[in-house]
Amino acid sequence: MAQGSNNNDVFMGSAAQFMQAGQNMMQQFMDYLGKSGGQAAAMPPPVADPQALTGLQKQFMDQQMSLWQSVLGKQQGQEPAFKVAPEPGDRRFSAPEWKESPIYDYLHQAYLLNTQYLKQMVEVMPAQDEKAKERMRFLARQMADAMAPSNFAATNPEFIKLAIETKGQSITDGINNLIKDFEKGRISMTDESVFEVGKNIATTEGAVVYENEAMQLIQYAPLTPKVASRPLVVVPPCINKFYIMDLQPDNSLIRFMVEQGNTVFLVSWRNPTEAQGHLGWDDYLENGPIAALRVAREITKVKQVNALGFCVGGTILTSALAVLKARGESPVASLTLLTTLLDFSDTGEIGLFIDEQGVTTRESTIGQGGLLPARDLQNTFSFLRANDLVWNYVTGNYLKGQKPQAFDLLYWNSDSTNLPGPFAAWYMRNMYLENNLCVPGKLTMCGEQVDLGKLDMPVYLLATREDHIVPWQSAYQSTRLLSGKVRYVLGASGHIAGVINPVSKNKRSYWINENVTTDADGWLAAAEERKGSWWADWAGWLKPLSGEQRAPRKLGNTKYKAIEPAPGRYVKERAV
């Protein structure tokens, strides 16, 4: 009886602590929100509806009490009457140690209840507009993720068990991992010693045939006896290295393009240093796609090429084509855009980081010259998926002392790039903040007023259903902006996995609907699901637009001689 009383006291104390922790978490969030601009500065701090707040508090207290009684009953051999399950995909508490001990069993479930309470509280709080509400949700999630018991040595039973089993070696290894990452200035996500650009990733054969201050242009060697007369010019994003499209031979989109009989040219953006800190948006258009299109046409001796842009590379490419159209030029026969925004009215969580105050600050500092550091960009993208890309490695690297596994995608993810300040500031204001690109004649680029509606070439638009960077509904809006015939395809998975989905793996699905006159939800409701990769569908769409077959030409020509083998030196430059 005394033992049961002791257990009762322990659990009652724990329950009270976690009820208070939930209340404290909410109060900390409210305080932080008031300091961080969750609403307009002139507005008073948000106040929840008293009746709704009272109801949530009562529900929270009742659930905490039910959890305490359930865990206590479980120790006495009773079937738990109340459980709190993690959300689908949350693996933080999947190890058996979290359920073997009543303390940790209660600990992690109480945390999940606190997290639910925090999210529910956000929903009853007033907000100036939907963007302010989304910012509140984001901040609440960041706070909840950071406070997870799995992130701390004293509250993580996996840490304790491993430390005992290794006689403290795991603690030593974790401290050493932490010191090394401090020296690097970032969290290690993979064993970086395994990979080398140009050696076992980015290995598709080719040569750099042109370069300028902003980029190198790679021409890839043919892999078929004959090639299409009309080449394909690829513009990847400048906020990451291009080799996400050329990781390994079996998952290389670039190699697939070449295997389809295309002569492929690719823009390899420079990783800017202070010497390139003066480059602006117009510089990227002129020295990027506009230069690449000119050189590719001169080398292959054709009037028009096919062009493909990925993510912000697609935004840059489409902007460049609008500039050329205003100049009376139509160098592109078809346009492919992969997970690209042209209408920035809904930018998902990325847009939560961008507001008038922040952009004005950027414009007055790096907007006049300088760099937006790679570390800032990487941290921003990582915290969009903090549990997967931050706290997972904090737990594994530092608490458990583990060495990250070798994974090519995560090596690429860690190989970040800087951005020139003037480019970044102009892009944030005119795209994310003011959404000017989709307004005909609103923007002047390279001395020309641009109108996307004048681009009348056939267009292949790919979005991905779980994309947290380019929401698929936003990508669908491009069907309203471009006047050529559009084929819109929706891939499964996210921003990267949905794009890099090799045909050979026969994984995932994609959705097709030829009717793009409805809204996004209507399009999806009538779409046909097809198993496998969208790559084959795109290759079939592109082939009739690629011209007649002919014998492949050598890389470059007398004017544009091969400078160095692919992937070139620009892509090997790492941000410091």
**Helix and strand totals (H; E) in the chain:** 20, 17
Cα–Cα distance list, 177 to 102, 196, 329, 395, 428 (Å): 31, 21, 55, 11, 35
150 and 213 co-located in one domain: no
Count of structural domains, the chain:
2
In a domain, 470, yes or no: yes
User: What distance separates the 2 farthest-apart alpha carbons in the chain?
Assistant: 94
C-beta separation of 228 from 443 below 8 A: no
pLDDT tens by residue, 3-33: 444 444 444 444 444 445 544 554 554 454 4
Same domain, residue pair 511 and 366? yes
Are 143 and 256 part of one and the same domain?
no
Can the peptide bond before residue 567 be classed as cis, meaning omega within 30 degrees of 0?
Answer: yes
**Residue written as token pair 């500065």:** 41
Closest CA to 418 of 372, 385, 449, 387: 372
Has residue 185 been placed in a domain? no
Q: Identify which of 135, 198, 195, 146 has the alpha carbon closest to the alpha carbon of residue 351.
A: 135
Interatomic CA distance for residues 410 and 191, integer angstroms: 9
Q: Please check whether residues 109 and 229 belong to one and the same domain.
A: no
| Within a domain: 179 | no
The phi-psi region of residue 263 (left if phi > 0; otherwise alpha if psi is between -120 and 50; otherwise beta) is beta
Residues 37 and 154 in one domain: yes
CA distances, 318 to each of 266, 278, 438 (Å): 16, 23, 11
- Answer yes or no: is 383 within a domain: no
Q: Tell me whether residue 435 is in a domain.
A: yes
Q: Catalytic positions, please?
A: 311
Q: What pLDDT does residue 46 have? A: 55
133 in any annotated domain:
yes
155 and 223 belong to one structural domain: no
Q: What is the CATH number for 545?
A: 3.40.50.1820
Domain check: are 246 and 113 in the same one?
A: no
pLDDT digits (tens, 9 = 90+) for 245-257: 999 999 999 999 9
Are 143 and 232 within one domain?
no
Quick one: tokens of 143?
């706070």
Q: What is the pLDDT of residue 449?
A: 97
395 assigned to some structural domain:
no
Q: Tell me, yes or no, whether 401 lies in a domain.
A: no
Residue closest to 136 by CA, chosen among 119, 113, 157, 150: 119
Check whether residue 120 and residue 228 sit in a common domain: no
Examine the fold and report which residue of 129, 159, 189 is the final residue of a domain before the chain moves on: 159
In this structure, are 141 and 273 located in the same domain? Answer: no
Domain boundary pick from 159, 194, 227: 159
Domain containing 284 equals: 206-373+418-572
| Residue that is last in its domain, among 124, 141, 159 | 159
pLDDT score, position 9: 47
Residue 403 to residues 151, 349, 382: CA-CA distances in angstroms? 17, 31, 19
332 and 450, same domain (yes or no): yes
The 3 state secondary structure assigned to 339-354 is CCCCCCCCCHHHHHHC
Low pLDDT (below 50) residues in the chain: 1-19, 22-23, 26, 29-30, 32-44
The verdict on 151 and 212 lying in the same domain is no
Q: Shortest CA distance to 453 belongs to which of 488, 482, 487, 484?
A: 482
Place of tokens 């902007």: 319
